[in-house]
Structure 1
């Protein structure tokens, strides 16, 4: 098992003077079956969310309104990603420790998940995360 790296996808945009539309389909624009959908909104200034990784779940994060930043750590790379467009999708792999922050007041962060909710799938302790995923080689 190796580290799989998150990726940014751009959704196609259809539109005219009436407005815009982007399409999301399982195993098409999103590279997995979508089994759960939730969204984060009304986040107060200065609040951060996330602080976990997963054993199995892949996720697609889309800021459908406003913007936020996502800190990613897969033990090989650490980076911040800005989500500021409804056609920009951040694909998170299970081995991505992620923290969302700097939410704008109007931010609505849509999350599409590959698995149904299972509390045992979450790695909420950073040291446990390192024990599970540290020292794995980058997949080619």
Structure 2
């Protein structure tokens, strides 16, 4: 069980190191230096049809850094009591999403690429895919 309050106020946009170069900029993320977790999985979403939504789930133990590698999109984060919409539109900024937060990714621009760094390998047992089950989980989390 987590030893912190899992609410949207603990999900923050972080600025990544940006190395500027006339030939093209670069951002660097290294385990143990830039994130509060070691990266164990990387995936990215692309060619998302207009009007489509991704996410629509929460994780019990997984931390994620969500980055708009190209284009833009909105991330709706929800802790069961509060909701917040964060627009990601710069590749040197990422949204840190902690465990116990419902997230939806919406409003993808044409050509958007959503790049995600995750703290754990894929495990279906870590997912909460039903919102009512998420609310029950959050109630039990706060009772602990």
TM-score relative to the length of structure 2: 0.90
TM-superposed deviation, 1:112: 0.5
Matching residue of 1:50: 55
Distance in 1 between the 2:77 and 2:115 partners? 17
Distance in 2 between the 1:123 and 1:38 partners? 19
- 1:66-123, Cα deviation, whole Å (9 max, x unpaired): 0000000012421000000000110001111000000011101100000100011100
Query: Are 2:33 and 1:25 aligned?
Result: no
Change (3 A) 1:72 1:124: same
Distance in 2 between the 1:66 and 1:86 partners? 9
TM-superposed deviation, 1:3: 2.0
SS at match of 1:37: strand
Contact between 2:6 and 2:99, CA under 8 Å: does it hold in 1?
Answer: no
Unaligned runs of at least 5 residues, structure 1: none
SS at match of 2:28: coil
Matching residue of 1:34: 39
Pairwise CA RMSD: 1.4
SS at match of 2:20: strand
Moved over 6 A (4+): none
SS at match of 2:36: coil
Query: Are 2:83 and 1:78 aligned?
Result: yes
TM-superposed deviation, 1:134: 3.3
Higher helix share: 2
Distance in 2 between the 1:27 and 1:57 partners? 17
Query: Are 2:125 and 1:126 aligned?
Result: no
Distance in 1 between the 2:32 and 2:81 partners? 27
Compare 13-22 and 52-61 and name the one that shifted more: 13-22
Count of residue pairs brought into register by the alignment: 137
